[in-house]
Structure 1
Amino acid sequence: MHRRRRTAVVVTSALLLSVPLLAACGNEARPGAAAVVGGERIEVGAVQSKVKAVRVAQERSPQAEQLVKDSGQLTRAKLYDLIVARVVEKAAEDAGVSVTRKEVQTGRAQLVGQAGGEEQLAAMYLQQRGIAPGQLEDVVRRDVLVGKLAEAIGATNGQEGQQKLNAAFSAAAATLDIDVNPRFGTWSDQDLALGEYKAPWITQVTQSQGAPVSGA
């Protein structure tokens, strides 16, 4: 299999601090915005909509009680996810990297096969990464894009590769001038962190052929 198909990327959306759902933005100049990234607003309503979709999926799961218990930081995690998506897109654009619909479909089909079916895949992403079924396609696309970016900049192996990848994302984040509603915390381009979340938010894992993209 081509090398890029052996490169799986885990986009970690676990966050350490809980933040309540917001009714309005704390910045009067941008009412209703949870963040502004590259001059584009991420509305509080968009964050809440993603949270609601996950909660609905969790409540329908046989593990509903445990899933809800383990996702107390979901609101902040979803904002973090939305910011990450734009940072990844910018870094890929800067490197001249893109993905086709066919590549996303291929990546998803591989994951479905590894998980044992669509339902099993959806359950795995919900449990491990707090992703609702309707959000899965975007997440798979982003993971494929990060894998191709890592390959394009020579960041597919070891600690040095991870540093290269993080540097590319930090540079992209800096050009996007990310401004986060203080109620969610502050964003750090250097640490790729929101609030007091300091752990690396993208972990590159080079796996053997057929290895799944797993959550953290």
Structure 2
Amino acid sequence: MHRRRRTALLLSAAIAAAPLLTACGNDAHPGAAAVVGGQRITVAQLENRVNEVREAQRAAVADEAQYAQAVAGTGTLTRDTLHNMVLDQVVHRAAQEAGVTVSRYEVQQMRAGLEQQTGGAKALETAWLQQYGIAPERLDDNLRFQLEAQKLAAKVGTDTGDPAFWNALAKASKDLGVDLNPRYGTWDAQKSSRADTKMPWLREVTAPETGQTA
């Protein structure tokens, strides 16, 4: 597979404690973890996503000690998951505005290439779970997201380091009016990231090695 197809745009998970600055989650948006484009991401939806990861982690290990270690290694999972849920919508909006689309066939092709590199479907699912906190049932969604980001970067610039790419995301963030519940941090529209995120959310790497942690 061509190197460009092998390259995945992956989420970092270095997120610190958040300041209580935004209004979402008060009486204006009861029960919301975030509001994106006028639509709520509910706390229940967020918790369901987190539970998917925890259940997959539990199924992947042999004993309680290993599970406890996996949980300890993903202590910011709830915030990271919400960040990813919001970012998915931001990238999708920016891609739509740029006329970028991703087909199911393209997702399947990307997945097939990554499975070949990591040693099969199960190995790929395990790698994405361990390194990026993506539950197996969300893997295709994550690959679609990454393909949208790749194609958007190619459409508006050269790669994800190009200012035009980040400007497109900033515009989409502002258009959507992202508003986080203060318990999960704040959203910096200009950077298309949680304001308390210390590292970039996007980085280009080749397929992960199985059995390692990020």
Q: TM-score category by the smaller chain? A: 0.7 to 0.9
Residues 184-206 of structure 1 deviation map (CA, whole Å, 9 limit, x = unaligned): 1211112323241132112245x
Q: Distance in 2 between matches of 1:57 and 1:103?
A: 26
Q: Distance in 2 between matches of 1:198 and 1:39?
A: 27
Q: Distance in 2 between matches of 1:121 and 1:80?
A: 22
Q: Distance in 1 between matches of 2:7 and 2:114?
A: 13
Residue 93 of structure 2 corresponds to residue 94 of structure 1: no
Residue 51 of structure 2 corresponds to residue 48 of structure 1: no
CA RMSD of aligned residues (A): 2.3
Deviation of 1:136 after TM superposition, in Å, equals 0.8
Residue 157 of structure 2 corresponds to residue 154 of structure 1: yes
Q: Distance in 2 between matches of 1:116 and 1:6?
A: 14
Residues 121-148 of structure 1 deviation map (CA, whole Å, 9 limit, x = unaligned): 1110011001111111100111111111
The worse-fitting range, judged by mean Cα deviation, of 147-156 and 51-60 is: 147-156
Query: Aligned AA for 2:101?
Result: S
Deviation of 1:55 after TM superposition, in Å, equals 0.6
Aligned ranges 1:87-166 → 2 under 5 Å: 87-156=90-159, 159=161, 161=162, 163-166=163-166
Q: From the superposition, tell whether residues 154 and 3 of structure 1 become closer, same or farther in structure 2 (CA, over 3 Å).
A: farther
Aligned ranges 1:1-216 → 2 under 5 Å: 4-5=4-5, 7-17=7-17, 26-62=25-61, 63-156=66-159, 159=161, 161=162, 163-205=163-205, 211-212=206-207, 216=214
Q: Distance in 2 between matches of 1:110 and 1:2?
A: 9
Q: Distance in 1 between matches of 2:204 and 2:165?
A: 8
Query: Aligned AA for 2:130?
Result: Q
Percent of aligned positions with the same letter in both sequences? 43
Question: What secondary structure, in the 3-state scheme, does the structure 1 residue paired with 2:183 have?
Answer: coil
Q: With structure 2 as the length reference, what TM-score do the two structures score?
A: 0.85
The worse-fitting range, judged by mean Cα deviation, of 34-43 and 8-17 is: 8-17
Size of the alignment, in residue pairs? 203
Q: With structure 1 as the length reference, what TM-score do the two structures score?
A: 0.85
Question: What secondary structure, in the 3-state scheme, does the structure 1 residue paired with 2:171 have?
Answer: helix
8 Å contact from structure 2 (residues 100, 148) kept in 1? yes
Q: From the superposition, tell whether residues 42 and 101 of structure 1 become closer, same or farther in structure 2 (CA, over 3 Å).
A: same
Unpaired runs of 5+ residues, structure 1, are 20-24, 206-210
Q: Distance in 1 between matches of 2:193 and 2:124?
A: 28
Q: Distance in 2 between matches of 1:42 and 1:18?
A: 18
Unpaired runs of 5+ residues, structure 2, are none
Residues 34-84 of structure 1 deviation map (CA, whole Å, 9 limit, x = unaligned): 111111111111100000010111112224232211111111111101100
